[in-house]
Chain A
C-alpha cells in the first residue's frame, strides 16, 4: 500500500498502458492487470469438499501461543481497515475512529509488550465518501491511509459513469484506497467481458489510489464463480480482492478465502504480480483473525501477512484483540470498558 501522507492530491488519470511499471511499495510492484484471458477462466476447477476439509483441518493443525500469539495479534491489528459504514456516520464519529486508528492499543500494554518502536496503527480507516475529508484531516501526519467505499457501494448498481465519478471524487478528496463492489449480475450471467471492462474502468479512475474489488461472494452462489470473478478482477488490475461489503447476508469465511487466495497464487505464478486480499464482515474475534492469518501464511506465505497485501475489514475485532493482549500481559481476563472505543 502507498503510505504517503494524506495530503490532497490531484486526480491523475492513468490507463493500464501508461501506468508506471512498478509503483514499488513495501517491495512489490503494483498489479497492472492483464488482457482478459477467457481460456484461463475455462480451466478453473474448484472442489468444495476439499476446500472445507482444508479449512476445517488447518485451524486444528496450527496454533500460536504466548508471545507468538501476542505478536500475531499485533500483526493482525496492523492489517485492520478500521471501518465505519453507517447511515448515521458523522464527522464526530469518524474523528473518534481515527483517534483509535492512531492509538489502537493502550499505552501501558504497548510498553509491557515492548513494542513502542513499532508505532503500531491500524492498516487504514475505511469510510463513506462524505467522511473522507474528515478522515484525511484527522490522519494527517500519520502513515494511515484513508480508504473510501465508492462506486454505488454497497449495491454497485448505479450508472457506471456515476460510479466512476464517485471514485474520482473520493480520490480527489485524498482517499488513497478505493473499495468498490463488482456487478454480481456479470458473474451470475457469465459476462466476463463486462466485468473486466467495468473493473478496468474503475482501476483507471483510481489513478494512484489502490483498488480493492469487492466480489460480494455471498451473492455469487458457487465457489467456481468466486474463483472466476477473482481472476477477472485481478486481470482488470485490482490491487486487492475483497470478499464482502459487510452488507450481504453471508460475509467472509475461510472457504471463500481459500478459493480467492489460491487465485491470487495462480495469478502471481502466471503474471509475477502480487495482489492483496481483504476478507470483510464477520471477523469479530482474535481467534477468527488468527485462522485467517494461518490461511494466508500457509497458502501465500509471510508476505501476505503484511498490511500491503492483507487487510481485514472489521469494526469489533480490534476490541477483542485488545482484551486478548491485556490478558497476555496481566494473566487476567479483560473487559471492554478498559479499552478506548473507536
Chain B
C-alpha cells in the first residue's frame, strides 16, 4: 500500500524517485536487442557467430545479446584501424580536434540515455552515471580535443604508435572508454577497443556517436567479447600498443603476452589504497571522504580507499561516526535518483566479496554492517566496515573490490606512512589533516600515483592518473597521459642491431691472470660505495680488441644482485636529497672524469679498438652528458594543474626508486654514463650491469665515483654474465624498474620475467641507438627516471 500524504507527513520517508529507462530500452529494441562489433565504420553482426547475453544486474533481465569477437573479427578491426591510421595521423591537429570536440558535444547531448544505459548494464546508481561518469567522459574528450589542437607545438618530436589495442573494465565502462579513446585519437592513433563483456552497451552507443560525428571509418573500432577476444587483441602483430585497465591478475597475463613484442604497454590495475586520518582532521569531512572513497560505485573502484588508517586517539570516535553514517546510505534500485548504492556487477562477484568479508571475520575482524537487514535481495551488498583488522589479515592485503572498509590504527605519522606503504599496490591515497605541514609532509612519502589531501576520488582530464608498483604503470590524463600514446619519432629511424651471434666475450677463471708485468688489478664489484668481492669468488677474464687479456672482473651472481639492491634500499636518502646537491655530484663526476680523460681514452682504444679520435670523442661526449644531467637535475620540474574546482593538483616528479640498468656494448663509456646519469639526476638508486664485453670501463669508473662524493648505494655496479644477471634483476621484487639496452633478445626475457612485481620496463626492442646523438639524452630518459604523482590540494577557509 502506498502511504498517503498525511502518513508520509508522519514518517518523512523519501519514497521512490525512479528515472525512466524507456528511451534506453527503445534504443535496444531498435537494435533488435542484438549488439555486434563496430568495425570500419559499420556494424558487424554475423548471424552465425557466437553470442552472449548482457543482463541488468538489478533485476537479472536480459538486455541484449552480444557477439563474441573472434580472431577474424579482431583481424578485420585491426586491418581497418591500420588502413585508417596514416590518414588520421596525417590530419592537421585542428582537424582531429574538431572530431574530438564533436564527440564531446555528442556525449553531452546524449547524456541522459548514456547514463541510463550505463546504469542498466552496470547497476551503478543513476545519480553517479548522470553526475559522474558521463560528464567526466565528455570533459575528457573536450580536454583531449585541446591536445590534438596543440600537438604539433607541444609534442614536436613525437609520433603516434599506430594502431592501439584497448581493453577496458566493467566498473566505469563509458568513462574508461573515454580515458582510452580520447588521448589515443588526439595523438593520431587509431583504436581497436574491447569493452568488458558485462558492460558492452555504452561502447556500442558511442560507436553510433562516432558515425554521427563523421569520424572516418576505421579510426574507432569496437570489438565485443570476453578475455579470449582480449587475448586476440593483445597478441595481434599489427597492434603497436596495448592499454589495459583491469585486474592485476589479467595485467600480468598481458605483460607476459606482450613481452618481447616491441608493443608499448600501459597498465592501470588494482589497488588497496590507504585513507590516513590524523587526529587533527575534520573527522566529519573524513567520513564523507570515505563515503566517496569506499562506498561509491559499490566499492568497485580500482582506487577505492579500502584501508582506513586512523590515529589511535580518535579511532573510536571515527568508527562511531562512520557506523552512524553508514545507516544513512540508501541501497536499492540503481535507477532511483535517491539511491547511494546500486547493485554489484554480478552474483559471482557478490559471492567473492562476501566470501572475503567472511574470511576477515574468521580472522578476527569485527563486522559492522548496519544496513544488512534492510539490504534488498538480489545483487546488492550492504556497506561494510571491518574493524580490529591488522596488516597480517587477508582483508588488509587483498583487493576486495566491494564496499568493504578495513580499519586499522596508527600512533605516529611515521607509522602511518609505514602502514600505508605496506602493500604490493600503489594506486592512490587520501590524507586527512587540517595541518598543512603534516599533510604535505606525508603526501610525498606515500607510494601512490595519486594522493588526495582532505578529499577522495577526485579526477580530472588534466591530471594524470595511474599507479606505482603492482597497480601498474603509465598515466592517463594530462600531458603525461598523452606521452602514453606517443613515442619519440627518432626511434623509427634507429637501425636494428646487426645479427651477431651472442657469444660469451669473457672467460671464467679462478686465479688472477698471470704474465702481466704490473701489479695485479682485479676489479671487484661496486656495492654500497665499496668494492666487494663477488660472492661466488669467480672472475672473468676480459680481452682487449686484439684478443689479448686486458684484465679481469668479478663474476657477479644472484647474491651480489641481492646485496646491491639491499645497499640501494639503504640509500633512500638520495631520493630526498636536494636537487642542487644531485647536480653538484654529477658535475663533480664530470670534473673527475675530465681529469682522467686520457686514461679512459686509452682504455677505450685498447678495449674496443676505437681510433684515438673516436675514443676522445666518446670521453668528451661522456663529460658533456654528465653536465647535461647535472643541468637537468634541478630543472625537470613538475607541474601545477588547475582542475575546475578550488584546488591545485601538484604533479610532482618523484624518483622511480631502485632501477636495474643493463648497459649495451657499444660506446661502453658513453652508454654507461648516458644511462646512470639521468637515473641518478632524478634521485634513483641503480644497480648497473655494465657491458659484458667491456666491463673494465665501468670498473675503472669506481675511483671516479669514490672521489666524487657519490653517496654509498646510489650507484652499484655488478659485472658478470649478462643473461644470468638480467634474469635476477627482472625477477627481483624490490627493484622498481629495469632499463635494458643490448643487442640480443634478453629484453623480451626481462619483460616476461618482470611480472612478479610488475616493475616498469624500458627496453630498446633490438634497436641500436647512436649514443653520440643528441637524441640519446634528455627528456626521453628523464621521463623513464621519474614517476608523476598528482597531489590534490583543495584549499579555502
Whether A and B are associated in the same complex: the answer reads yes
Residues of A that sit less than 8 Å from B by CB: 45-54, 57, 60-68, 70-72, 74-75, 113-115, 117-118, 222-224, 262, 297-298, 302, 305
Q: A48-B796, A50-B794 are in contact. List 16 more A-B contacts (CB 8 A).
A: A49-B455, A49-B795, A50-B282, A54-B285, A57-B131, A60-B127, A61-B127, A63-B14, A64-B338, A66-B15, A67-B3, A68-B15, A71-B7, A113-B5, A115-B6, A224-B797
Q: Are the C-beta atoms of A47 and B434 separated by less than 8 Å?
A: yes
**CA A209 to CA B204, docked complex, whole Å:** 66
1/0 per position for B1-41, CB-CB distance to A under 8 A?
01111111101111111000000000000000000000000
A116 to chain B: closest residue by CB: B6
Does B280 have its Cβ within 8 Å of any Cβ on chain A? yes
| Selected A-B contacts with CB under 8 Å, 11 pairs | A47-B282, A47-B285, A49-B794, A50-B794, A60-B127, A65-B16, A67-B8, A75-B12, A113-B6, A298-B328, A302-B11
Within 8 Å CB of A75, what residues of B? 9, 12
Measured CB to CB, the closest approach of chain B to A42, in angstroms, equals 11
Within 8 Å CB of B8, what residues of A? 67-68, 70-72
Instruction: Name A46's contact: one of B4, B9, B282 (CB within 8 Å).
Output: B282
Within 8 Å CB of B248, what residues of A? none
Within 8 Å CB of A48, what residues of B? 796-797
Measured CB to CB, the closest approach of chain A to B6, in angstroms, equals 5
B458 to chain A: closest residue by CB: A53
Within 8 Å CB of B471, what residues of A? none
Q: Are the C-beta atoms of B280 and A45 separated by less than 8 Å?
A: yes
Which B168-200 residues have C-beta < 8 A from chain A? none
Q: Are the C-beta atoms of A49 and B646 separated by less than 8 Å?
A: yes
Q: Are the C-beta atoms of B17 and A65 separated by less than 8 Å?
A: yes
**CA A71 to CA B7, docked complex, whole Å:** 8
Within 8 Å CB of B7, what residues of A? 71
Instruction: Name B797's contact: one of A72, A115, A223, A305 (CB within 8 Å).
Output: A223
Q: Are the C-beta atoms of B5 and A49 separated by less than 8 Å?
A: no
Q: A49-B646, A61-B340, A62-B14 are in contact. Are A71 and B9 (CB under 8 A)?
A: yes
Within 8 Å CB of A262, what residues of B? 284
Measured CB to CB, the closest approach of chain B to A310, in angstroms, equals 11
Summed over the interface, the residue pairs from A and B with CB atoms below 8 Å come to a total of 102
Measured CB to CB, the closest approach of chain B to A109, in angstroms, equals 11
1/0 per position for B315-338, CB-CB distance to A under 8 A?
000000000000010000000011
Q: Are the C-beta atoms of B131 and A60 separated by less than 8 Å?
A: yes
Q: Are the C-beta atoms of A74 and B5 separated by less than 8 Å?
A: yes
Does B704 have its Cβ within 8 Å of any Cβ on chain A? no
Q: Are the C-beta atoms of B6 and A114 separated by less than 8 Å?
A: yes
Q: Are the C-beta atoms of B340 and A118 separated by less than 8 Å?
A: no
Which B598-641 residues have C-beta < 8 A from chain A? none
Most buried by A among B5, B16, B127: B5
Q: Are the C-beta atoms of A302 and B12 separated by less than 8 Å?
A: yes
A65 to chain B: closest residue by CB: B17
**CA A176 to CA B6, docked complex, whole Å:** 28
Which B358-404 residues have C-beta < 8 A from chain A? none
Does B520 have its Cβ within 8 Å of any Cβ on chain A? no
Does B350 have its Cβ within 8 Å of any Cβ on chain A? no
Measured CB to CB, the closest approach of chain A to B20, in angstroms, equals 12
**CA A309 to CA B14, docked complex, whole Å:** 20
**CA A296 to CA B646, docked complex, whole Å:** 26
Does B281 have its Cβ within 8 Å of any Cβ on chain A? yes
A48 to chain B: closest residue by CB: B796
**CA A64 to CA B284, docked complex, whole Å:** 25
Within 8 Å CB of B797, what residues of A? 48, 222-224
Q: Are the C-beta atoms of B12 and A50 separated by less than 8 Å?
A: no
**CA A201 to CA B12, docked complex, whole Å:** 37
Instruction: Name A45's contact: one of B131, B434, B794 (CB within 8 Å).
Output: B434
Measured CB to CB, the closest approach of chain A to B374, in angstroms, equals 16
Q: Are the C-beta atoms of B337 and A74 separated by less than 8 Å?
A: no
Q: Are the C-beta atoms of B646 and A67 separated by less than 8 Å?
A: no
Within 8 Å CB of A51, what residues of B? 285
Does B454 have its Cβ within 8 Å of any Cβ on chain A? yes
Within 8 Å CB of A61, what residues of B? 127, 338, 340
Within 8 Å CB of A52, what residues of B? 796
**CA A222 to CA B434, docked complex, whole Å:** 14
Q: A47-B285, A49-B646, A65-B17 are in contact. Are A115 and B9 (CB under 8 A)?
A: yes
Q: Are the C-beta atoms of A45 and B281 separated by less than 8 Å?
A: yes
**CA A57 to CA B340, docked complex, whole Å:** 11
Q: Are the C-beta atoms of A45 and B12 separated by less than 8 Å?
A: no
Q: A50-B289, A63-B338, A114-B4 are in contact. Are A68 and B14 (CB under 8 A)?
A: yes
Q: Are the C-beta atoms of B17 and A54 separated by less than 8 Å?
A: no
**CA A74 to CA B285, docked complex, whole Å:** 32
**CA A216 to CA B794, docked complex, whole Å:** 26
**CA A234 to CA B328, docked complex, whole Å:** 26
1/0 per position for B665-698, CB-CB distance to A under 8 A?
0000000000000000000000000000000000
> Which A-B residue pairs are the 10 nearest by beta carbons?
A50-B285, A68-B15, A71-B8, A49-B794, A63-B17, A47-B282, A47-B285, A45-B282, A48-B796, A71-B9
1/0 per position for B298-315, CB-CB distance to A under 8 A?
000000000000000000
**CA A285 to CA B665, docked complex, whole Å:** 77
B130 to chain A: closest residue by CB: A60
Does B288 have its Cβ within 8 Å of any Cβ on chain A? yes
Does B647 have its Cβ within 8 Å of any Cβ on chain A? yes
Measured CB to CB, the closest approach of chain A to B769, in angstroms, equals 48
Instruction: Name B288's contact: one of A53, A62, A72 (CB within 8 Å).
Output: A53
**CA A329 to CA B447, docked complex, whole Å:** 59
A224 to chain B: closest residue by CB: B797
Most buried by A among B8, B280, B283: B8
Within 8 Å CB of A62, what residues of B? 14, 338
Q: Are the C-beta atoms of A118 and B338 separated by less than 8 Å?
A: no
Within 8 Å CB of B284, what residues of A? 50, 262
Within 8 Å CB of A53, what residues of B? 288, 292, 455
Instruction: Name A49's contact: one of B280, B338, B454 (CB within 8 Å).
Output: B454
Q: A45-B281, A49-B796, A63-B17 are in contact. Are A72 and B12 (CB under 8 A)?
A: yes
B280 to chain A: closest residue by CB: A45
Which B647-677 residues have C-beta < 8 A from chain A? 647
Measured CB to CB, the closest approach of chain A to B383, in angstroms, equals 14
**CA A167 to CA B292, docked complex, whole Å:** 46
Q: Are the C-beta atoms of A64 and B15 separated by less than 8 Å?
A: yes
**CA A263 to CA B271, docked complex, whole Å:** 35
Most buried by B among A51, A71, A298, A302: A71
**CA A57 to CA B455, docked complex, whole Å:** 14
Q: A61-B340, A305-B12 are in contact. Are A67 and B4 (CB under 8 A)?
A: yes
Q: Are the C-beta atoms of A67 and B455 separated by less than 8 Å?
A: no
Q: A49-B794, A50-B288, A61-B127 are in contact. Are A114 and B14 (CB under 8 A)?
A: no
Within 8 Å CB of A47, what residues of B? 281-282, 285, 434, 454, 794
Within 8 Å CB of B338, what residues of A? 61-64
Within 8 Å CB of B794, what residues of A? 47, 49-50
**CA A61 to CA B608, docked complex, whole Å:** 71
Measured CB to CB, the closest approach of chain B to A219, in angstroms, equals 16
Most buried by B among A45, A52, A74, A118: A45
Measured CB to CB, the closest approach of chain B to A253, in angstroms, equals 14
Which B118-134 residues have C-beta < 8 A from chain A? 127, 131
Within 8 Å CB of A50, what residues of B? 282, 284-285, 288-289, 454-455, 794
A221 to chain B: closest residue by CB: B797
Within 8 Å CB of B16, what residues of A? 65
**CA A297 to CA B284, docked complex, whole Å:** 16
Measured CB to CB, the closest approach of chain B to A115, in angstroms, equals 5
B2 to chain A: closest residue by CB: A67
Within 8 Å CB of A57, what residues of B? 131
Measured CB to CB, the closest approach of chain A to B342, in angstroms, equals 13
Which B738-797 residues have C-beta < 8 A from chain A? 794-797
A113 to chain B: closest residue by CB: B5
Within 8 Å CB of A54, what residues of B? 285, 288
Q: A49-B796, A305-B12 are in contact. Are A70 and B5 (CB under 8 A)?
A: yes
A54 to chain B: closest residue by CB: B288
